[in-house]
Amino acid sequence: MNWNIVHGNWKQIKGKVRAQWGRLAGNRGEVIVGKGDEAAGKIEETYGVAKDGVEAQIKQFGEHKKN
């Protein structure tokens, strides 16, 4: 069993809950962080990439979008 996939699934669930909590509380920052966690979890699940690799990919994507 690939634990990166399991961790990715958990991170997606956690991200969805956090985003929903942000919506209920009216906290846009929590919604954004929750969506980021959800995206990272999806990458981790799909590609089996470790947490550090996912965070690096997201950071690289964000830097690419700024340019």
pLDDT digit string, tens, across residues 14-40: 999 999 999 999 999 999 989 988 988
CA atoms of 31 and 15, how far apart (whole Å)? 9
pTM: 0.67
Q: Per-residue pLDDT averaged across 40-63, rounded?
A: 77
pLDDT at position 1 is 62
Tokens describing residue 9: 């699934």
Which is nearest to 57 in space by CA: 29, 67, 44?
44
> 30 versus 52: which is more confidently predicted?
30
Q: Which domain holds residue 14?
A: 3-66
Give how many domains the chain has, as a whole number. Answer: 1
> 50 versus 18: which is more confidently predicted?
18
